A = this chain, B = another copy of it.
Amino acid sequence: MPLIKTNKEEIIDTALNVFRENGYYNTSMSDLAKACGLQKGSFYHYFDSKEKMMSAVLDKVLSTLNAEVFPIADDMSISDRDRLQKLMLSIGEIMLQKSGGCIAANTSLETNGQSVIFRDTLKAIFDGWQNALQKIFSSQYPEGTSKRLAEQTVMEFEGAVMLSQLHSNDQYLKDVFVRTLAKMK
């Protein structure tokens, strides 16, 4: 293995991809270390445990969303429709990235019930997302309707990610994208 100088941020970015593609339980510390170009022993210099590693990954996803994505909903310099499009595209970039589906949905479904550790972060991710969507919809719909549309968008999006993955076909996701955008003038 070549000697690679790395840092905590780079490790988190790499780990995000490994976790998203392999899942939490099916990813070993060896897998993570190897993906980072480190020996397993070296890896513990950065993170005490696999659990803390994943927590750091999800925390970074949430803070990135909070800093860069959810505020799009408040950007009144662009049209409602453009805000919605920009938000959806940005969500896709951060949560889907390359392959493996959505890190938040994957982790939710995999750890729900038994592990309560990631729950708050995952809830904050989905609540923030839904909230941002609702803000955008509320510019053209009454409160009850925009809340429902926001919920529907999140649910359809995650369902579409699953079906796209399963069938190796992006069409489901693209369709949801188009349908969602069509809800705004």
Interface residues of A (CB under 8 A from B): 21-23, 25-26, 99-101, 105-106, 108-114, 119, 122-123, 126, 148, 151-152, 154-160, 162-163, 165-167, 172, 175-176, 179
Known: A123-B167, A159-B155. A110 touches B106 (CB 8 A): yes
Verify B126–A112 contact, CB threshold 8 A: no
Give the residue of B110, B123, B152 whose beta carbon is less than 8 angstroms from that of A26.
B110
Q: How far is the CB of A56 from chain B (nearest CB, A)?
A: 20
Q: How far is the CB of A17 from chain B (nearest CB, A)?
A: 11
Give the residue of B113, B159, B163 whose beta carbon is less than 8 angstroms from that of A22.
B113
Give the residue of B152, B166, B175 whose beta carbon is less than 8 angstroms from that of A156.
B152
Verify B110–A110 contact, CB threshold 8 A: yes
Interchain residue pairs with CB less than 8 A apart (5): A108-B166, A126-B166, A155-B155, A155-B158, A157-B159
User: In chain B, what residue has the closest Cβ to A22?
Assistant: B114
Q: How far is the CB of A107 from chain B (nearest CB, A)?
A: 9
Verify A109–B162 contact, CB threshold 8 A: yes
Contacts of A152 in B (CB 8 A): 156, 179
Verify B166–A122 contact, CB threshold 8 A: yes
Verify B155–A114 contact, CB threshold 8 A: no
Give the residue of B100, B111, B156, B179 whose beta carbon is less than 8 angstroms from that of A159.
B156
